[in-house]
């Protein structure tokens, strides 16, 4: 029975870690989904300041 409880606690802790590690990235921030004057370079510059991880949302 002890093993079942430990497994349950570890499973819940694992799920909580995944949920808290996710980040929502707004592409282009205030610029949004438009074609800016400097084209793709604007999004390249935006992306260099971001850290993307599995589970993040764009």
Domain that holds residue 53: 23-58
**Residue 58, domain member (yes or no):** yes
Per-residue pLDDT band at 30 (split at 50, 70, 90)? confident
Q: Is residue 51 predicted with pLDDT exceeding 70?
A: yes
**Residue 46, domain member (yes or no):** yes
Give the dihedral sign, CA 22/24/28/34.
positive
Q: Is 45:29 a contact under the CB 8 Å cutoff? A: no
- pLDDT of amino acid 25: 79
**Residue 8, domain member (yes or no):** no
**Residue predicted with more confidence, 35 or 10:** 35
- pLDDT of amino acid 17: 55
- pLDDT of amino acid 12: 66
Q: Which pair of tokens denotes residue 28?
A: 């282009």
Cβ atoms within 10 Å of 23's Cβ, excluding its own: 13
**Residue 52, domain member (yes or no):** yes
What domain count does the chain have? 1
């Amino acid at each position: 029975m002890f093993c079942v409880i430990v497994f349950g606690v570890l499973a819940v802790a694992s799920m909580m870690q995944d949920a808290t590690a996710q980040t929502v990235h707004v592409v282009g921030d205030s610029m949004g989904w438009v074609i800016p004057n400097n084209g793709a370079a604007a999004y390249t510059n935006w992306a260099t300041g971001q850290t993307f991880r599995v589970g993040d949302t764009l």
